[in-house]
Amino acid sequence: MNRQLPPAVILAGGLGTRLRPLVSDRPKALAVVAGKPFILHQLEWLRRNLVQSVILCVGYKGEQIVDYLGDGSRLGLKLTYSWETKPLGTAGALAEASHLLPPEFLVLNGDTYTTLHLKPLWEVHHRHEALVTLAVAPTQDSSAVGGIEMDANGRILSFREKEPGAQLVSMGIYAVSQKLIQLIPEQRPCSLEKDVFPNLPGLYGYLSPVSFIDIGTPAGYQALNRHLSSLEA
C-alpha cells in the first residue's frame, strides 16, 4: 500500500520581477505554461507523489491565486494559505507560516518544475535524521545560481553563491523538520539558501536523477513552455 507524503509548502509570494517582461498582470504562479497556470503543473506533480495537503505562501497578487485554486477540492487536494503583507523572502515566508506547519514537511520554490520522485528524497532525509535535506542536481555552470559542495555520504559541505566551478545546484525542493523554524533569523526579508542553510549543521543533499527548470527567468519560462508543448504535440 502506498504511503502518502507529508504536506508540502509552496513559496509563491515573490514579486516575480525577473519574469516581468513576459508576465506582468499576475503572480508568477499563474503564468501560463503549455496552456495552463504553472501552479497547476506543480500541484499535479505533488498529487502524483502522494502529497494530499499543500500550504501556499502567497503575497504579491496572491488573491488571484486564492480565487483560482480555492480550497483545492477540485484538484483532489487540501489547500491552505499563509499571507505575506510585505515581501519576507523564502525563509521569512516559511516562518510566517509556522502555525500551519506539521513536525515534518516538504518545501518547494514557486518557480521550480521537475519530474522528480519525492519518496527517495524523503527516505534520505529520514535515514540521516537531517534537519533539512535538499534535492540537488548536476550543473555545467554554477555561476548563475548558488553552487553546492557535497561529500560522498550526502552531507552538504558548503554553498557557493553564484560562483563558477561547483558541480551541483539546489533544485529548490527540500525535506524539512519544523525545528528549522527556530533557526530562521528575525530580520526580514531573509532567504533560506543565502541566510539560513549555509549556517546550519546536519544539512544533507539528495542527488536527483532528473533535472529541473526554473521558470523565474524569461529564458527558463520559455524553455519549459517549449518542453511541455512538445510533449503534448
Catalytic residue among 86, 119, 162, 179: 162
Residue 1 forms part of a structural domain: no
Beta carbons of 138 and 148 less than 8 angstroms apart: no
Q: Is 162 known to be catalytic?
A: yes
Backbone angles phi, psi at 132, to 5 degrees: -145, 140
What pTM does this model have? 0.92
Please give the angle made by the CA atoms of 6, 11 and 14, to the nearest 5 degrees: 175
Residue 17 forms part of a structural domain: yes
Q: What stretches in the chain show pLDDT beneath 70?
A: 1-2, 15-16, 18-24, 140-146, 161-165, 232-233
CATH of the domain at 174: 3.90.550.10
- What is the C-alpha separation between 173 and 161, in angstroms, rounded? 17
Residue 20 forms part of a structural domain: yes
Parent domain of 153: 8-232
* pLDDT score of 1: 40
Residue 3 forms part of a structural domain: no
- What is the C-alpha separation between 233 and 9, in angstroms, rounded? 32
Residue 120 forms part of a structural domain: yes
Residue 50 forms part of a structural domain: yes
Residue 188 forms part of a structural domain: yes
Q: Amino acid identity of 15? A: L
Residue 60 forms part of a structural domain: yes
Domain count, the chain: 1
Model confidence pLDDT, tens digit, residues 38-65: 999 999 999 999 999 999 999 988 999 9
Q: Which residues contact 204 (CB under 8 A, 6 or more apart)?
A: 124, 125, 128, 130, 132, 133, 134, 154, 155, 156
